[in-house]
Amino acid sequence: MMASGASWESEAFTRLDGEDGVVVLKRCVDVDDLLATATSGQADVAVVGLEAPGLDPAAVAHLRRYAVRPVAVVSRTDDPDVLTRAQRVDIGALVAFDDLATLAGAVTTVEGVADTRVRAEPGDLGEPAPATTPEHRLVVVWGSGGAPGRTTTAVTMASLLAQRGRDTVLVDADPYGGGVAQQLGILDEVSGILSAARLAGSGHLAERFDSTCRGVGDRLRVVTGLPRADRWLEVRATALEQTLERALERGDVVVDTGFSLEDEPGQDFGSRPSRNAMTLAALDLADEVVVVGSADPVGLSRLARGLVELRDRTGGAPVRVVVNRMRPSLGWSEREIAGMVEGFSRVLGLHFLPDDRAATDRALVAGRALPETGDSSLLRAYDALVDATWPESATPEAPGRRRGRRAGRRRGVG
């Protein structure tokens, strides 16, 4: 039970404590205490005050993750404002505090009291209509530490996809400090991912998602990342999940993530999220994962370990590998690198990107995506990567595109 000192708390406790078949495990002082108790696995139902500070969609999602069913005590069960608030935090079982005689029944029955959630039609309460284009896909760009080129790959893929006429949303979900805004020359100090997290917490993300995006061209929207690395605490995994779901309603989604897959011990106790929660949440939702590694000895070693770690962590979404900064001076052939990758993971394809510093420098200095800075061998290689990832977006081959395929050729692996 968690009521944050509400006037009905003592009566509710007395009624439940004396009810056959009900054991009141704990009276929690706040939401953090409630979440920690839910994590213990000893509770089946949480009786909460709907207006308790900190009770947001993320907190309710945490309860459900541990099979704890929330029952909310409210002022009135027929008040539209109360029903809207309950819907936004996803609680359907409501009991009025002047009708606490029904509370025990709500706690002990499987379904609780009648589900009073408003069954909104599309457009009601600011909810957008369901996506009409189910072919929208979520592609997550991941890679191990050492700056192998995750952000450049995510930005370039999203930009190329938008150039092909597909509505695209690029989300910077790197918990160690995003670089998407800098690469694209976006100088707005407002962080899109922090805005989305706040709106998700208040239940208003559905109707205000577009305000979290910056438009880059006609087809590309960007949800910019953390302005400082220390602000990762403000973004829960559930907030990112809601953000990506809303983004998929607008078009294809490309996500730039962090490097670490460590699931920190104790992350579920209280309200403190894991630092890597954004990365892990994005990977869990991915339709496909693009893994970026550098072609040098250290980069390939990290790539090998990362593929094993990713396989153990996700085990679901198909994986495509990109070997970046490939150059003759390294002395390895593509066949040799393909053999190494085959030994660690089964992947959809293996793509090689040339080491074209001039092209990347032009783009970075100009604050523009690579496709906006002119033709290059690197751009043609990325073009082939997007062909493989979104084959439905590929255009008929022209002579220049055939040359691009040779520059960015890929191998099917596994």
Residue 5 contacts by C-beta under 8 Å, 6 or more apart in sequence? none
The answer as to whether 127 is a domain residue is no
Number of domain units in the chain: 2
Residue 412 contacts by C-beta under 8 Å, 6 or more apart in sequence? 348, 349, 350
- pLDDT in 10s for each residue of the chain, 414 residues: 676 667 888 888 888 887 777 888 888 888 888 888 888 778 889 999 888 887 887 788 878 878 889 999 888 888 888 888 888 888 888 988 888 888 888 888 754 333 333 333 434 434 444 443 457 999 999 998 888 999 999 999 999 999 999 999 999 999 998 899 999 999 877 899 999 999 988 888 989 999 999 999 899 999 999 999 899 999 988 899 999 999 999 999 999 999 999 876 545 444 567 889 999 999 999 999 999 999 999 999 999 999 999 988 776 789 999 999 999 998 888 889 988 888 888 888 999 999 999 999 999 999 999 999 999 999 999 999 999 999 998 876 544 444 444 445 555 544
Contact 175, 275 (CB under 8 A): yes
The answer as to whether 248 is a domain residue is yes
The answer as to whether 1 is a domain residue is no
Count of C-beta atoms within a 10 Å radius of residue 329: 6
The CATH number linked to 236 is 3.40.50.300
What range defines the domain where residue 172 resides? 138-411
C-alpha to C-alpha distance for 258 and 141, rounded to whole angstroms: 9
**Alpha helices, DSSP H, located in 68-144:** 80-89, 103-108
Rounded CA Rg of the chain: 25
The CATH number linked to 96 is 3.40.50.2300
Which of 82, 117, 152 lies at the terminal end of a domain, its last residue? 117
399 and 324: one domain? Answer: yes
Q: Retrieve residue 146's tokens.
A: 């050492």
C-alpha to C-alpha distance for 308 and 261, rounded to whole angstroms: 11
The residue among 13, 21, 56, 64 whose CA lies nearest residue 39 is: 64
Q: At what angle do helices 192-202 and 237-250 cross, to 10 degrees?
A: 100
